């Protein structure tokens, strides 16, 4: 019965509504999705007029700025989905958003990329986001988000990039982040984080970018971090870290390009073996308590 009914409705829409072919079959079902997207827009923009001007009726919403639909939705293999499950990428970077992250984002079950960076979003990172288990990229950098880095991020095992830098986040780095075995980039810099670097982060063997500068992170650099042999960029400057740096840094981090550990309380001899790391192009160790010299 169902397919027949849909077929009939499809014919009706085709006959009665004269719209471009790509739009035809979507017309019936897409209105709820469109309204849901407009509802998201309202919350993200705090109803400031003129934000996201391309989100208007002149375009099919799969063509709105920053919206990427699943290919199957574009082909209209399924007439009615609802709840925005067609949305694969939402990239609203640098679009003057100044509301909060809407709870409805938790309905975007197929979302793989959520980039809301370079805006002025307020409020906390909503727990509903934990339901978007297909997310590979989360970027909220350069906003005004508050609250903690939620520990449930550790359950989002598809994540390759978790970028939360340059916000107003507080609290500790959750040890659960060590579960994100696909993670390539973690950015938590320029927040107000405290506590220590969790030992568990030494499990992130795919990590290339470890960005935690300008927080209030204290304690030693855990031994486990020297397992991250793929690392290219370590930025821990401007924290309260102490202890020594491993003397065989050239052997453990052969791919290192950037090492920024200035403005901490490190002691001991800074390892001269660093000069053996051929790709290293940026080294910053000022304002520590190192002794010795580097050749
Ligand atoms: C609607 O979006 C289109 C495509 O981006 C744009 O050219 C047009 O100016 C927008 N209309 C309004 C009223 O903002
Ligand atoms: C959308 O999600 C909400 C909350 O999970 C649910 O109550 C509602 O039934 C869903 N709607 C559709 C069309 O699936
Ligand atoms: C989002 O779009 C901006 C430019 O509009 C781009 O620089 C950025 O890489 C995109 N983000 C992702 C995750 O693709
Ligand atoms: C995640 O989704 C499930 C099922 O739709 C729902 O019961 C649960 O409350 C959601 N969790 C959050 C944190 O929104
Ligand atoms: C960020 O939020 C804080 C309050 O949480 C507020 O004092 C500050 O002015 C905000 N910054 C910007 C740039 O809006
Ligand atoms: C992740 O790691 C934490 C602590 O490191 C652990 O307790 C938790 O069970 C792990 N699993 C998930 C899915 O978060
Ligand atoms: C940084 O953390 C230390 C404790 O480790 C605390 O005494 C100090 O007040 C903190 N500073 C800021 C600016 O939060
Ligand atoms: C990493 O290194 C530490 C000490 O160097 C070692 O005990 C540990 O088994 C290694 N592996 C992980 C996953 O931390
Ligand atoms: C550089 O590596 C070579 C070969 O492993 C080693 O003999 C030498 O001592 C290293 N240089 C420094 C400054 O550690």
- Model confidence pLDDT, tens digit, residues 172-231: 999 999 999 999 999 999 999 999 999 999 999 999 999 999 999 999 999 999 999 999
| Domain encompassing residue 45 | 15-291
Question: What's the pLDDT score for residue 238?
Answer: 97
Q: Say if 5 falls within a structural domain.
A: no
Residue with CA closest to ligand 7 atom 7: 216
Mean pLDDT of 238-267: 95
pLDDT for 295 equals 55
Question: Ligand 9 — pocket residues by CB below 6 A?
Answer: 272-273, 275-276
* Average pLDDT of span 3-9: 33
Tokens of 55: 């989100």
In a domain, 8, yes or no: no
What are the helix (H) ranges across the chain?
2-16, 21-45, 71-75, 249-252
Ligand 6, CB cutoff 6 Å, lining residues: 154-155, 175-176, 178-179, 200
Tell the residue number behind the tokens 């010299």, with chain if given: 293
Tens digits of per-residue pLDDT, 260-284? 999 999 999 999 999 999 999 999 9
Q: Is 130's C-beta closer than 6 angstroms to any atom of ligand 4?
A: yes
Give me the residues paired with residue 139 across strands.
Answer: 115, 163
Asked if residue 7 belongs to a domain, the reply is no
Query: How far is C-alpha 75 from the geometric centre of its chain's CA atoms?
Result: 29
Antiparallel, parallel or unpaired: β 113-115 and 67-69: unpaired
Atom 1 of ligand 6, nearest CA residue? 176
Is residue 115 in contact with ligand 3, taking CB distance under 6 Å? yes
What percent of the chain is modeled with pLDDT above 90? 65
- 9 lies in a domain? no
214 within 8 A of 242, measured Cβ to Cβ? no
In a domain, residue 3? The reply is no
**What domain count does the chain have?**
1
Q: Using alpha carbons, list the distances in angstroms from residue 273 to 23, 97, 156.
A: 62, 46, 37
Average pLDDT over residues 223-244: 97
Find the mean pLDDT for residues 76-88. Answer: 62
Identify the pLDDT of residue 294: 64
- Poorest-confidence range of 39-43, 47-51, 66-70, 250-254? 47-51
Does the pLDDT value for residue 71 go beyond 60?
yes
How many other C-beta atoms are found inside a 10 Å radius of the C-beta of residue 292?
9
Q: What is the CATH number of the domain that holds 176?
A: 3.80.10.10
Please report whether residue 2 resides in a domain: no
pLDDT, mean of residues 229-234: 96
Q: Which of residues 64 and 263 earns the better pLDDT score? A: 263
Centre of ligand 6 to C-alpha 111, Å, is 23
pLDDT of residue 73: 65
Query: For position 127, what pLDDT does the model report?
Result: 96
Q: Whose CA is nearest to atom 9 of ligand 9?
A: 273
pLDDT of amino acid 278: 93
User: What pTM was estimated for this model as a whole?
Assistant: 0.85
Does the pLDDT value for residue 9 go beyond 70?
no
pLDDT of residue 66 exceeding 60, the answer is yes
Q: Which residue has the higher pLDDT, 16 or 130?
A: 130
Residue 67 domain flag: yes
Q: What is the pLDDT of residue 6?
A: 34
Q: pLDDT per residue over 95-149, tens digit each?
A: 989 999 988 899 888 899 999 999 999 999 999 999 999 999 999 999 999 999 9
Asked if residue 4 belongs to a domain, the reply is no
What is the per-residue pLDDT for 54? 85
Beta strand ranges found along 23-160 (DSSP E): 67-69, 87-91, 113-115, 137-139
Average pLDDT, the chain: 86
pLDDT of residue 162: 98
User: Ligand 4 in contact with 85 (CB < 6 A)?
Assistant: no
Query: Looking at ligand 7, which residue's alpha carbon is closest to its atom 9?
Result: 216
Q: How far apart are CA 140 and CA 164, in angstroms?
A: 5
For ligand 1, what atom is nearest to the CA of residue 57? 1
Decide if 148 contacts 171 (C-beta within 8 A): yes
Q: How confident is the model at residue 32 (pLDDT cuts 50, 70, 90)?
A: confident
Instruction: Evaluate if residue 150 carries a pLDDT over 60.
Output: yes
Report how far ligand 9's centroid is from the alpha carbon of 250 (Å).
8
The pLDDT of residue 122 = 96
């Amino acid at each position: 019965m169902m397919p027949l009914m849909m077929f009939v409705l499809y014919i009706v829409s085709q006959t009665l509504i004269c719209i471009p072919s790509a739009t035809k079959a979507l017309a019936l079902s897409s209105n709820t999705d469109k309204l849901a997207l407009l509802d998201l827009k309202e919350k993200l923009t705090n109803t400031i007029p003129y934000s996201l001007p391309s989100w208007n009726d002149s375009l099919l919403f799969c063509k709105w700025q920053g919206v990427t639909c699943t290919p199957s939705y574009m082909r209209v293999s399924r007439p009615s989905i609802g709840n925005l499950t067609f949305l694969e990428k939402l990239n609203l970077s640098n679009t003057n958003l100044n509301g909060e992250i809407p709870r409805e984002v938790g309905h975007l079950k197929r979302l793989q990329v959520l980039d809301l960076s370079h805006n002025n979003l307020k409020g906390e990172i909503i727990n509903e986001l934990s339901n978007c288990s297909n997310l590979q990229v989360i970027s909220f950098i350069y906003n005004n988000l508050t609250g903690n880095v939620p520990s449930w991020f550790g359950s989002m095992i598809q994540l390759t990039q978790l970028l939360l830098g340059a916000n107003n986040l507080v609290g500790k780095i959750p040890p659960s982040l060590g579960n994100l075995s696909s993670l390539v980039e973690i950015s938590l810099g320029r927040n107000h984080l405290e506590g220590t670097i969790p030992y568990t982060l030494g499990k992130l063997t795919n990590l290339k970018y470890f960005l935690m500068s300008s927080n209030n992170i204290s304690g030693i650099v855990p031994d486990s971090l020297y397992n991250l042999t793929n690392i290219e960029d370590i930025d821990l400057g401007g924290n309260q870290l102490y202890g020594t740096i491993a003397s065989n840094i050239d052997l453990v981090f052969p791919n290192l390009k950037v090492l920024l550990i200035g403005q901490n309380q490190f002691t001991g001899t800074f390892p001269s073996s660093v000069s053996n790391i051929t790709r290293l192009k940026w080294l910053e160790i000022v304002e520590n308590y190192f002794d010795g010299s580097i050749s």
